[in-house]
Amino acid sequence: KEGIDCRKLENFSSWYQQVVIKADLIELYDISGCYIFRPWSFAIWEKIVEFFDAEIKKLGVQNAYFPLFVSERRLRTEQEHLEGFAAEVAWVTKSGSSELDEPIAIRPTSETIIYPAMSKWIRSHRDLPLKLNQWSNVVRWEFKHPTPFIRSREFLWQEGHTAYADRSEADHEVLQILELYRRVYEELLAVPVIKGTKSDRERFAGGLYTTTVEAFVPANGRAVQGATSHSLGQNFARMFGIYYEGKDSGEKLMPWQNSWGCTTRTIGVAVMVHGDDRGLVLPPRVAPLQVVIIPIITKSASADVISACEAICSCLQRANLRVKFDDRSEKTPGWKFNEWELRGVPLRIEVGPRDVQAGTATIARRDTMEKWSIRVPNHSISEEEDAFAQEIHQTLVRIQTNLFERASAERNARIRCVSDWGTFMQAIVQRCMALTPWCNLNECEERVRQQSVQDSLAYRERLATETDPSATDAVLSGAVKTLCMPFASELERLGLTNAAEWEAPAPEKQCFACNGPARRWALWGRSY
Ligand SMILES: O=C1CCCN[C@@H]1CCCn1cnc2cc(F)c(F)cc2c1=O
Ligand SMILES: [Mg+2]
């Protein structure tokens, strides 16, 4: 199959649609917004699940499974929380040719399914803390343009739902889970994220506060919400009648609840951040295949080359690396090089006749496209085999680190600290994120959203007249919104050293948009 026929930085959306198909991550499907997860992407999700599931079990979370369906009555338990989402709910109204008496919703999230059960299970303080998680699919009938992995009408996720007697324990868990989400992105997917709190406008309205990890796609200048961890306070306990008997007095108390979710959007973010014009670039930690071995066969020396490849393959398999010997005789080495580069395999080992004579092989890194010669072990000496496997493992670690450092440098270069509207809009039209002193008022955020749309349209017009019309499609569409209010520690981690004022802007600081008193530092950007 042919490679990607456009450049990532020239036509990002076409590049992305081609990569997800040609790297065998997904197959298209005849229902809009729905995609088939082929093994190459499902294996990545499995790595994320394996890591996160093990970590939440260390925190005492138990997995359970709740029904896919929820009655209309039950879904409407929480009116205001639903009203904003009603258009996204998918309903079953028939079975066979007969209408159902009552329409049944397909879960878009499971609060209204889980919390009535929780109110039965939580009676005494001894029933707390209750910590449940569900791995499942959910359906949200989005109307915005679908994007594989990033925005789809069905996606896979985990949703955690916990209840605590002690508020501080609940608050602590919110941040523990957020740290796990950071690790999923930064340690598994090599994608840098920024932790912070959502503004009043962006948070989960049914809860108390929302924390988030925010990613960024330099190639198109858009931020992506990576995963969210909410404190619900006692709001849902009140709504669903979840009470328990206090320890000393028999009084009825409400637990403090959290909910947290991470979805298959993770896969799309990694594709967008690391991919290049040759296709997918996979972080070794989640790569379904870490090393592919390719024989360079000539008439004469084929048997020796094949056995040399097989020996290398079994040596690396014994070292628990995910390795494949591509011995297909009907494909040329060149074809195989392109295929495995397109699919993002981190390392390639080539073995030709001269290598067999010299006891060497050629190794090629997918992230830097560097190629060099290495010594292969004498396969009867186990120390040499161990050393070889160790060397390959070290190289994979270097690739993982390089991907994270490269993505971090690119992301950091796209954060502008600004304190007035002009430089704010300049940052935005230059496809950057903007860190600003902000009043933290809802109506101010609303005005920034509206004004930013107008200003970038005006900017687009000016561009169209002054320069070539094509320059205008460089100006992103869509409103600017707050991505998060970064934790002070995050701003230090970003190397923004004047941390002293990061806890809160100095009192004389004014909001960049309305000049009112600045109370927070806010990170803004265009997002998915
Ligand atoms: O984000 C999470 C983490 C996992 C558990 N749920 C929370 C809040 C989900 C917020 N949300 C998000 N989207 C929704 C879409 C709907 F169609 C709908 F009926 C409800 C919702 C909805 O409540
Ligand atoms: Mg939504």
Answer whether 257's CB lies under 8 Å from 162's CB.
yes
Please identify, by atom number, the ligand 1 atom nearest to the C-alpha of residue 229.
Answer: 3
- Provide the pLDDT for residue 199: 98
Answer whether 382's CB lies under 8 Å from 319's CB.
no
Please identify, by atom number, the ligand 1 atom nearest to the C-alpha of residue 159.
Answer: 4
- Angle formed at CA 175 by CA 172 and CA 177, multiple of 5 degrees: 110
Sign for the pseudo-dihedral over CA of 423, 429, 432, 434: positive
How close is the Cα of 109 to the center of ligand 1, in Å? 5
How close is the Cα of 110 to the center of ligand 1, in Å? 8
Answer whether 433's CB lies under 8 Å from 414's CB.
yes
Ligand nearest to the CA of 151: 2
- How would DSSP label each residue in 459-515? HHHHHHHHS-GGGGGGSPPS-EEEEEEE-HHHHHHTT---GGGTSS--TT-B-TTT-
Answer whether 349's CB lies under 8 Å from 318's CB.
no
Using CA atoms, how far apart are residues 68 and 106, in angstroms rounded to an integer?
A: 6
- Provide the pLDDT for residue 473: 67
How close is the Cα of 147 to the center of ligand 2, in Å? 13
Ligand nearest to the CA of 528: 2
- Provide the pLDDT for residue 465: 78
How close is the Cα of 69 to the center of ligand 2, in Å? 19
Instruction: Please give the chain's pLDDT, 528 residues, in tens.
Output: 689 999 999 999 999 999 999 999 999 999 999 999 999 999 999 999 999 999 999 999 999 999 999 999 999 987 766 888 999 999 999 999 999 999 999 999 999 999 999 999 999 999 999 999 999 999 999 999 999 999 999 999 999 999 999 999 999 999 999 999 999 999 999 999 999 999 999 999 999 999 999 999 999 999 999 999 999 999 999 999 999 998 887 899 999 999 999 999 999 999 999 999 999 999 999 999 999 999 999 877 799 999 999 999 999 999 999 999 999 999 999 999 999 999 999 999 999 999 999 999 999 999 999 999 999 999 999 999 999 999 999 999 999 999 999 999 999 999 999 999 999 999 999 999 999 999 999 999 999 999 999 998 888 888 777 777 666 766 777 789 999 999 989 988 887 755 455 667 766 789 999 999 999 999 999 999
Question: ipTM of this predicted complex?
Answer: 0.99
How close is the Cα of 96 to the center of ligand 2, in Å? 31
Name all residues whose Cβ lies below 6 A of ligand 1. 81-82, 85, 88-89, 108-109, 140, 159, 204, 228, 230, 259-261
Answer whether 23's CB lies under 8 Å from 344's CB.
yes
Q: What is the β-pairing status of strands 62-63 and 130-139?
A: parallel
How close is the Cα of 301 to the center of ligand 1, in Å? 61
Please identify, by atom number, the ligand 1 atom nearest to the C-alpha of residue 88.
Answer: 17
Answer whether 344's CB lies under 8 Å from 312's CB.
no
Using CA atoms, how far apart are residues 492 and 273, in angstroms rounded to an integer?
A: 23
How close is the Cα of 241 to the center of ligand 1, in Å? 20
Identify which of 85, 203, 208, 232 to mutate to test ligand 1's pocket (most ligand atoms within 8 A of the CB): 85
Please identify, by atom number, the ligand 1 atom nearest to the C-alpha of residue 109.
Answer: 6
Q: Indicate which residue's Cα is closest to atom 11 of ligand 1.
A: 109
Ligand nearest to the CA of 142: 2
Rg (C-alpha) for the chain, rounded Å, is: 26
Ligand nearest to the CA of 90: 1
DSSP 282: -
Q: Please classify residue 88 by burial: count the beta carbons closer than 10 Å to its beta carbon, then call 0-12 exposed, 13-18 middle and 19+ buried.
A: middle
Please identify, by atom number, the ligand 1 atom nearest to the C-alpha of residue 207.
Answer: 8
Of 520, 515, 513, 521, residue with least CA distance to 449 = 513
